[in-house]
């Protein structure tokens, strides 16, 4: 039962602190799952994000469901999902009336705008960590090539990230890298 409590705490903390939706919770879930509880390695966590992004629905609940199941079975899955959505449900019920009254307030607007740079930094740190790990596992040339192709596809050509990930998964199966990394 202690494991279920840890699952609940990890995903509740991520859910309550993840301002702005699923993508902002990714660094928080990473901290809990990889750093705090060591349920996964960085590579396993990046695999969860990759696969999760190819599936429909919110990333936070997909990650919670999979990680909860992996760590605590079916009960862990349910626990992680409840812990992920409970903060949103509670805050929505409690704050919906208040928010309508204060939505035009400079304080609320400033608070909302003030959180955006913090989220950007959290996402940037996670991205930097993943780039370092990609370079270490794939080598600089291959990591740079994948980064460049992904950047062009997603940012410049406006291709959905799930499609890019799916194509890279197909290439990974079709063209396995032999001989280790290049530099």
Tell me the mean pLDDT per 10 residues along the chain, length 183: 91 81 81 92 88 81 92 94 88 72 72 79 83 82 87 92 85 67 46
- Give the global pTM: 0.58
Note the pLDDT of residue 67: 94
CA-nearest of 70, 73, 75 to 52 is: 70
Cα 87 vs. chain centroid, distance in angstroms?
Answer: 17
In a domain, 147, yes or no: no
Retrieve residue 124's tokens. Answer: 């940037």
Angle of helix 59-102 relative to helix 106-138, nearest 10 degrees, comes to 160
CA-nearest of 130, 109, 147, 168 to 26 is: 130
What's the structural domain count of the chain? Answer: 1
As a whole number of angstroms, the longest Cα–Cα distance in the chain is: 63
Note the pLDDT of residue 103: 66
Cβ proximity of 138 and 181 under 8 Å: yes
Domain ranges, residue 63: 2-113
Burial class for 64, CB neighbours closer than 10 Å (0-12, 13-18, 19+): buried
Note the pLDDT of residue 60: 86
In a domain, 179, yes or no: no
Note the pLDDT of residue 176: 64
Q: How far apart are CA 20 and CA 107, in angstroms?
A: 17
Under DSSP, is residue 179 helix (H, G, I), strand (E, B) or coil?
A: coil
């Amino acid at each position: 039962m202690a494991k279920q409590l840890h699952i609940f705490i990890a995903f509740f903390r991520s859910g309550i602190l993840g301002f702005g939706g699923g993508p902002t919770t990714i660094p928080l879930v990473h901290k809990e799952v990889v750093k705090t509880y060591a349920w996964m390695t960085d590579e396993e966590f990046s695999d969860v994000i990759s696969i999760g992004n190819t599936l429909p629905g919110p990333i936070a609940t997909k990650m919670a469901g999979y990680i909860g199941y992996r760590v605590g079975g079916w009960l862990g899955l349910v626990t992680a999902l409840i812990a992920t959505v409970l903060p949103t449900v509670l805050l929505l019920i409690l704050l919906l009336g208040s928010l309508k009254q204060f939505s035009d307030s400079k304080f609320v607007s400033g608070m909302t705008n003030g959180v955006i740079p913090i989220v950007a930094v959290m996402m940037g740190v996670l991205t930097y960590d993943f780039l370092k790990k990609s370079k270490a596992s794939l080598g600089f040339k291959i990591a740079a090539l994948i980064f460049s192709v992904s950047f062009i596809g997603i940012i410049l050509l406006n291709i959905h990230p799930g499609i890019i990930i799916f194509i890279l998964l197909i290439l990974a199966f079709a063209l396995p890298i032999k001989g280790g990394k290049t530099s």
